[in-house]
């Protein structure tokens, strides 16, 4: 289902928080996505990103606070394929990804700051499902994130009514 963040902002301005537009780029096959937030906070170690994407992601978006690091990738094609397999709607990475051409072919939304070919460390460090803060807003597990070509917004409640 395609969403439009501008329309959601117009319809419910008091219910949304708008992420600062500091250079999000689209890398996944879906440019528009939304879902309930799950978070991972990690720095140059994507071990917990993998663990999160191994879980059922139906109706969810994984928000990864990578500290804005541009030194290694926290997501690549293999984790992207895992996200599709486990039905994640999208992945928002405050950091870098790799394998951008392959990710673009997958039916999952991916936004990140940039690309770099270097993979991350694997030390099993980080935290899962805690509040994270970047782009001048808080991303709280259980709330909802909406992303498209215009930007990223967050709401406490689901703003989308899907027909069955």
Residues 34-44 have pLDDT tens digits of 999 999 999 99
- Residue 164 buriedness (CB in 10 A; 0-12 / 13-18 / 19+): exposed
Asked if residues 74 and 101 have their Cβ atoms less than 8 Å apart, the reply is: no
Confidence of residue 21 (pLDDT cuts 50, 70, 90): confident
Specify the pTM.
0.96
Decide if pLDDT at 56 tops 90: yes
| pLDDT tens, position by position, 103-148 | 999 999 999 999 999 999 999 999 999 999 999 999 999 999 999 9
Decide if pLDDT at 80 tops 50: yes
**Amino acid 11: pLDDT:** 94
Asked if residues 130 and 39 have their Cβ atoms less than 8 Å apart, the reply is: yes
Q: What are phi and psi of 60, to 5 degrees?
A: -120, 160
**Amino acid 53: pLDDT:** 98
Cα→Cα distances 66→5, 40, 80, 107, Å: 24, 8, 17, 23
For the record, the structure tokens of 3 come out as 């969403």
For the record, the structure tokens of 103 come out as 């990710």
Decide if pLDDT at 163 tops 90: no
**CA angle (40 as vertex; 36, 45 as ends), nearest 5:** 150
Half-sphere exposure of 48 (CA within 13 A, CB side): 21
What stretch of H or E contains 8?
Answer: helix 5-11
**Amino acid 162: pLDDT:** 64
Confidence of residue 2 (pLDDT cuts 50, 70, 90): confident
Mean pLDDT of the chain: 96
CA 51 to CA 94: how far, in whole Å?
Answer: 18
**Amino acid 119: pLDDT:** 97
What percentage of residues in the chain have a pLDDT greater than 70? 98
CA 73 to CA 42: how far, in whole Å?
Answer: 12
């Amino acid at each position: 289902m395609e969403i439009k963040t501008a329309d959601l902002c117009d319809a419910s301005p008091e219910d949304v928080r708008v992420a600062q537009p500091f250079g999000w780029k689209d890398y996944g096959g879906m440019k528009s996505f939304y879902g309930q937030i799950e978070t991972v906070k990690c720095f140059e170690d994507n071990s917990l990103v993998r663990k999160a994407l191994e879980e059922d992601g139906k109706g969810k978006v994984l928000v990864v606070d990578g500290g804005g690091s541009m030194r290694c990738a926290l997501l690549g094609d293999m984790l992207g394929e895992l996200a599709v397999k486990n039905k994640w709607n999208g992945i928002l990475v405050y950091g870098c990804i790799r394998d951008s051409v392959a990710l673009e072919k997958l039916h999952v939304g991916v936004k990140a700051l940039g690309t770099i070919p270097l993979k991350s460390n694997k030390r099993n460090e980080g935290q899962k499902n805690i509040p994270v803060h970047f782009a001048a807003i808080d991303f709280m597990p259980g709330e909802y994130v909406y992303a498209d070509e215009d930007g990223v917004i967050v709401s406490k409640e689901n703003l989308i009514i899907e027909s069955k």
